[in-house]
Amino acid sequence: MIPVDGAFILAVSPRFSGARADAQRRIVGDISAAFAPTLAHYRIDSRLRIAHFMAQVTHECAGFRTTEEFASGAAYEGRRDLGNTERGDGRRYKGRGLIQLTGRANYRQMGERLRLPLEAEPELAAEPLTSLKIACEYWHTRQINEAADRDDLIRATRLVNGGLNGLEDRRQYLQKAKTALAALEGLRVSQTQGGTTVALRRGSFGDAVQQLQELLAAQGYPLSIDRDFGPATELAVMQFQQRAGLLVDGIVGQKTWAALRSR
């Protein structure tokens, strides 16, 4: 698997300040460790597939700063084509997810696919990890990988949007994603008995970084456990790699993870 994580997402996404930046960092941090394995599960696993997924999703969720549409949902009230047959369904089943899920019928169908009670508890669709799964499930059912394999931005956009709204925005994100993916060449995600191990480097953050910092702290390296792979964490990794007789590159791959966990 290509080790796409929170650092990769932020490399593609627009930068914000204040409350918008806080919201973006919370969402990205929540999905960072699960991003690569979730995409791989849905076979969004090549450079082109990941790049096109990022182009579409980054636009749809306003640069990863929301998993819920900004409008109230009142415009969907009475929309029988969306399955909104009961009073209040418009607001209750407003757009949620990285690719927005809208309408009672769609919540019901997606809930059945993911085995989640989305119709009974629609707010679950806005939880970052669930929103990622919704986007991937939508991508899979619409067979958008085929458009991505052809590098067909127009077709992918129509399958996601129904039209070509925001096409130039999506085009810019596609190029940024391709550039960011090229920089990841050589990094991989390995499978271990304990699950998936993400290759980490400076700029990574999230749960996997927290686990790394806890392991390093247990080895005696003075670190703040802040889920942020900054210069202090990179230095500790390099010092550990040198002490363990590993390649000193500051990248936490399979061998570094194994050495940390064996001590």
pLDDT tens digit sequence for 243-255: 999 988 888 888 8
Is the pTM higher than 0.85? The answer reads: no
- One domain for residues 171 and 257: no
Q: Are residues 132 and 48 in the same domain?
A: yes
Q: How far apart, in whole angstroms, are the C-alpha atoms of residue 47 and residue 155?
A: 17
- Please check whether residue 118 lies inside any domain of the structure: yes
Give, for all 263 residues of the chain, the pLDDT tens digit: 788 999 899 999 999 999 999 999 999 999 998 999 999 999 999 999 999 999 999 999 999 999 999 999 999 999 999 999 999 999 999 999 999 999 999 999 999 999 999 999 999 999 999 999 999 999 999 999 999 999 999 999 999 999 999 999 999 999 999 988 877 754 554 544 444 467 788 778 777 888 999 999 999 998 989 888 888 999 999 999 999 999 888 888 888 999 999 97
Rounded CA-CA distance 45/36 in Å is 8
Residue range(s) defining the domain that contains residue 99: 74-125
Please indicate, yes or no, whether residues 22 and 119 belong to a single structural domain of this protein: no
Q: Please indicate, yes or no, whether residues 144 and 206 belong to a single structural domain of this protein.
A: no
DSSP bridge partners of 190: 197
Domain count, the chain: 3
The CATH number given to whatever domain includes residue 152 is 1.10.530
For residues 227 and 213, the answer to whether their CB atoms sit within 8 Å is yes
Whether 28 is covered by a domain: the verdict is yes
| Same structural domain, 58 and 131 | yes
Using the 3D structure, point to which of 88, 108, 125 is the last residue of a domain. Answer: 125
Residue type, 167: L
- 253 lies in the same domain as 150: no
Q: Is residue 59 in some structural domain?
A: yes
What stretch of H or E contains 15? none
Looking at 110, 125, 140, the residue that finishes a domain is 125
In this structure, is residue 243 part of a structural domain?
A: yes
Cβ–Cβ contacts within 10 Å for residue 88, how many?
11
Q: 172 and 51 in one domain?
A: yes
User: Do 31 and 156 fall into the same domain?
Assistant: yes
Distance CA 249, CA 247 (A): 6
DSSP readout, 214-257? Answer: HHHHHTT------SB--HHHHHHHHHHHHHTT---SS-B-HHHH
**Are both 139 and 62 inside the same structural domain?**
yes
Does 146 reside within a domain?
yes
Return contacts of 38-43, CB within 8 angstroms, 24+ apart: 38/132, 38/133, 38/136, 39/1, 39/4, 39/136, 40/1, 40/189, 41/136, 42/136, 42/137, 42/139, 42/140, 43/140, 43/145
Same domain, 211 and 97: no
- Residue percentage of the chain with pLDDT more than 90: 76
Q: How many CB atoms lie within 10 A of CB 244?
A: 16
Of the residues 109, 125, 141, which one is the last residue of a structural domain?
125
Q: Are residues 146 and 169 in the same domain?
A: yes
